[in-house]
Amino acid sequence: MKMRHILSRLLRYLRRSLPLLILALLLAAASVILQILVPKRIGDAIDTIVGPGDVAFGALWGFLRTAGIFVLISAVSSWLMTLLLNRVCFRTVRDIRNDAINHITRLPLSYLDSRSNGEIVSRVITDVDQVADGLLLGFAQFFTGILTILGTLTLMFLTNVKIALVVMLLTPLSLFVARFIASRTFKLFREQSLARSAQTSLIDELVGQQKVVQAYSYESRAAESFDECDEKLCDCALKATFFSSLTNPCTRFVNSTVYAACTLVGSFAVIGGSLSVGMLTTMLAYAGQYAKPFNEISGVVTELQNALACAARIFELLDEPLPAVQEEGPDLPESLRGDISFTHVAFSYVKDRPLITDMNISVRAGSRIAIVGPTGCGKTTLINLLMRFYEIDSGTVTFDGIPLPDIPKSYLRRNIGMVLQDTWLSDGTIRDNIAMGRPEATDDEIKAAAKAAHAHSFIRRLPDGYDTVLGEHGGGLSAGQRQLLCIARVMLCLPPILILDEATSSIDTRTEWKIQDAFQVMMKGRTSFIVAHRLSTIKNADLILVMKDGNVIEQGTHDTLMSGDTFYRSLYLAGTAQ
């Protein structure tokens, strides 16, 4: 992505705060103009000193008083400008983060599964912060710098053409030096951003799995991995900072040379009588003011290189294609019955590594389907295809005779309830977590769902009951309690299709039997897919799908599959023998 394209996209975000930006720029212009007028007043004040005892004090104090007023108003204008630019920049950051989060929530799972959480978090948090710093510094110094250059140059030409030409011709050399260095630092800042992302990803992984790290005495190796990652970031940061820091001393050397040349030419002009001492003082002050923005702009260029490198990573995320949004048509029924058909379905996560090659399944509405097989056989993949988390490569999947691509995802997922082995709870109250699928549910309905899931008793023992605020990922609750809340969430919605993927894996045996009874009631009249490793729990299923290597190799009832020399029979006997 080219820098020009990145900058134009950032300007589009800034356009949303255009009135504040215009006001800030007007204040910046006022501040710069007043700062430029101060040296002229100081020079006029010096020229009131004619000789020993010959000073026009009235005019002197008048010039100094005017200069003081200009300085005060300029300082206030500069402060207000900074305040407004802060507001503009952080509004822009807020908008970028909102767009990023909204985009992430709609991205297909294939994108999220292929990237670490830490990398995505780094783009949304750290990279956006870097963009904010670059924008704030850029607008505060770039605009005022340009105005200062134009203003001082104009006044210098009006005062003395020779000195103005010396300053004008030599000072831009510092800008060319800065541009030469900056053009070579963009790549280094991008490498720094990538290294920072890898470090954030590693920290996220280690902190999230701290129990596993300590349980397996992995602390020293984890520290080594972090040291290696940190060393790489340090190396990238040092290189980027070193090359970018060459800008300022190089431009200062050029500017010091310009100042010396200006002083030499001005001194000869004073001796020749074409310039007063006060005007020479003014011209030297203007030379310093004219040169200063070049130093600041060189620093701004360095910061902008970093900001644009980070912005490129953010826009890469925002440019990831989203699946098409389908509107719910009037011809769709209020809810699905649950007749599901897979015909010659093929699917693979990686295109050159086939997983499912020719899957054919026919499920009647209201039936209970168990999915069994060894680890990695494709059970979760089948669930992902049912939920349309992934799109099939070929073949046909229909719900009640409607092809899956014609069913809007929002409508499909409203008709399917999932309870997974991995629980997911958000920051919020227990009430909020149970009512996630039905925010409009009443307290009585939420409590009834919790009772059906056998979660009401432990909720009632919590300090604030249903108003107890959960920590990150349900912190403060046991794994079994978290799973009961997820079961209660589905029991509140009661959709026509259910998916139970090891839904009771973290629950004690006594509670599990109670939950199984509740499931029997809940599954009555509903199409239910049950993924289970304990085959004794799915003997009463209407249809058992036996999967191996991504394909359904056997299907039938428990009695049918046990009657022959089947793969299911070997799985079942192996489970009961343990």
Q: What is the pLDDT of residues 489-507, one digit of tens each?
A: 888 888 899 988 876 666 6
Residue with tokens 């970031």: 233
Parallel, antiparallel, or unpaired: how do β-strands 527-531 and 368-372 relate?
A: parallel
In 339-455, where do the E strands start and end? 340-347, 356-363, 368-372, 394-399, 402-403, 416-419, 428-429
Answer CATH for 3-186+246-318 from 1.20.58.340, 1.20.1560.10, 1.20.1250.20, 2.30.30.60: 1.20.1560.10
The alpha carbon torsion through 219, 224, 229, 235 (nearest 10 deg) reads: 140
Q: Predicted confidence band at 54 (pLDDT cuts at 50, 70, 90)?
A: low
Give dist(CA 476, CA 139) in Å, integer.
46
Q: What is the pLDDT of residues 11-37, one digit of tens each?
A: 888 888 888 888 888 888 888 888 888
Domain boundaries, the chain: 3-186+246-318, 340-577
Q: What is the pLDDT of residues 193-248, one digit of tens each?
A: 788 878 888 887 888 778 788 877 888 888 888 898 888 888 888 888 887 777 77
Q: Predicted confidence band at 399 (pLDDT cuts at 50, 70, 90)?
A: very high
| Cβ atoms 423, 482 nearer than 8 A | yes
Q: Does domain 340-577 have CATH number 3.40.50.300?
A: yes
> Which pLDDT score, from 0 to 100, does residue 321 have?
85
Q: Predicted confidence band at 577 (pLDDT cuts at 50, 70, 90)?
A: very low
Q: Which of 358, 496, 309, 327 is nearest to 414 (CA)?
A: 496
Instruction: List phi, psi (to 5°) of 571.
Output: -65, -45
**What does R_g of the chain's alpha carbons equal in angstroms?**
35
Write the burial class of residue 485 (CB in 10 Å: 0-12 exposed, 13-18 middle, 19+ buried).
buried
How many C-beta atoms surround the C-beta of residue 394 within 10 A? 11
| Cβ atoms 192, 311 nearer than 8 A | no
Q: What is the pLDDT of residues 356-397, one digit of tens each?
A: 888 888 989 989 898 888 877 888 888 888 888 888 889 999
Packing angle, helices 277-318 and 172-182, rounded to 10: 20
Percentage of the chain modeled with pLDDT above 90: 4
Residue with tokens 């005495």: 217
> Which pLDDT score, from 0 to 100, does residue 341 have?
92
Packing angle, helices 443-452 and 509-523, rounded to 10: 120
Give dist(CA 303, CA 138) in Å, integer.
8
Q: Predicted confidence band at 50 (pLDDT cuts at 50, 70, 90)?
A: low
Q: What is the pTM of this model?
A: 0.66
